[in-house]
Amino acid sequence: MSIEPLIVTTEVLEKPKMSTYRRHLLVCTGPRCTTNGESQDLFDSLGAKFKQAGIDQGELRVKRTRASCFATCKSGPLLCVQPDGIWYYNVTESNLDRIIQEHLVGDRPVEELIFHRGASHEDS
């Protein structure tokens, strides 16, 4: 029985870069919590809305990411704000504007739109 030589890779991977951020907004764009693309439209509007609110850069910068399913597939669009651990439902355009102004800018979560609070909410 022969022993194969150990192949050691010398490839050096480039470390990804990411700008610092205050909060991370996750948007479900999966097919079950909205049926007509409302969640994708909402996600697509975030860049301009964040810029207008002054949270696209600087101390309050909010990073945004699409998710394919939170396993809570109803009454969308659904959002999650981390590290606050706050989950929102029924995020229409006007409700999104409230979440941006009251929560992401003003640090006051919009209570009537919250459907779940994660473990870290007491720290926020």
Q: How far is the CB of 123 from ligand FES (least distance, A)?
A: 25
Output phi, psi for 43, to 5 deg: -60, -45
> Should residue 32 be labelled a site residue for ligand FES when binding is judged by CB under 6 A?
yes
Q: Which is nearer to ligand FES, 55 or 80 (CB)?
A: 80
Q: Closest separation between CB of residue 37 and ligand FES, Å?
A: 12
Number of alpha helices (DSSP H) and beta strands (DSSP E) in the chain: 2, 5
Which residues fall within 8 angstroms of residue 106, CB to CB, at 6 or more apart?
A: none
User: Residue with the closest Cβ to ligand FES?
Assistant: 30
Instruction: Indicate the burial class of 62 (C-beta count within 10 angstroms; 0-12, 13-18, 19 or more).
Output: buried
* Out of 46, 78, 100, 104, the residue judged to bind ligand FES by CB under 6 A: 78
- If the CB atoms of residues 6 and 71 are measured against ligand FES, the closer one turns out to be 71
DSSP 103: I
Residue 75: CB minimum distance to ligand FES, A:
10
40, 72, 82, 101: which one binds ligand FES (CB under 6 A): 72
Q: How far apart are the first and last CA of the chain?
A: 62
* Residues within the interface to ligand FES (CB under 6 A): 28, 30-33, 69-73, 76, 78
